[in-house]
Amino acid sequence: EEDVAFGPENIGIAPDEIRKRVDESLKTVGISEYSRHAPHLLSGGQKQRVAIAGILAMKPECIILDEATAMLDPVGRKEIMQVLGKLNKNEGITVIHITHHMEEAVNAGRVVVMDKGKVILDDKPGEVFSKVDRMKELGLDVPQVTELFHELSKEGLNLPLNTISVDEAFDALSIFLAKQENG
């Protein structure tokens, strides 16, 4: 609670309003039950959610996160990405997430790839990741299904190169196979 209340206290928010904001923020990130736990007893993902709750208590319109999941295990990473998605969709908060984990960028509304301070690619995730060779030149990964479709297209299969999810791949392969059967 103290960590979440820190920001609002520093800008002079009234104690009753701080209490309300702390409770709402902890609930939003799904850690109300840990409000009285000592920070050193929390997991990495829980600590990140406390940090995000502290930001939310300030009532921002935009949150900028730099490698917010870098030190987390896959479960913690998934939890944080779910929280960020929820903040964007349900709370209307703009989330700018800086990451080297490309699988985290798949669900973004927009992906901007930068190199040495310059914008190299700026588009929807499917369009950015469809540039497999360019991404690899930049030392960045692409989703596995995107890479698979890229390799299959080199072998002559006509598949959409902007496929970024397993569901999209399933749909694209179903259409492809149906066309093959119908000649």
More confident residue, 76 or 8: 8
Which residue, among 141, 136, 134, 181, has the nearest Cα to 164 in the 3D structure? 141
pLDDT at 90 over 80: yes
In this predicted structure, what is the pLDDT of residue 2?
A: 85
Give the residue-averaged pLDDT of 136-149: 94
In this predicted structure, what is the pLDDT of residue 20?
A: 95
pTM of the model: 0.78
Give the residue-averaged pLDDT of 64-89: 87
d(CA 59, CA 17): 12
Report the SS3 class of residue 92. coil
d(CA 105, CA 43): 23
pLDDT in tens, 9-68: 999 999 999 999 999 999 888 888 887 888 788 888 888 888 888 998 999 999 999 998
More confident residue, 37 or 109: 109
Across the chain, what does the average pLDDT equal? 90
pLDDT at 183 over 70: no
In this predicted structure, what is the pLDDT of residue 52?
A: 87
CB 93 within 8 A of CB 83: no
Distance of CA 132 to the CA centre of its chain: 20
pLDDT at 110 over 90: yes
Token code pair at residue 95: 């989330």
Amino acid at 6: F
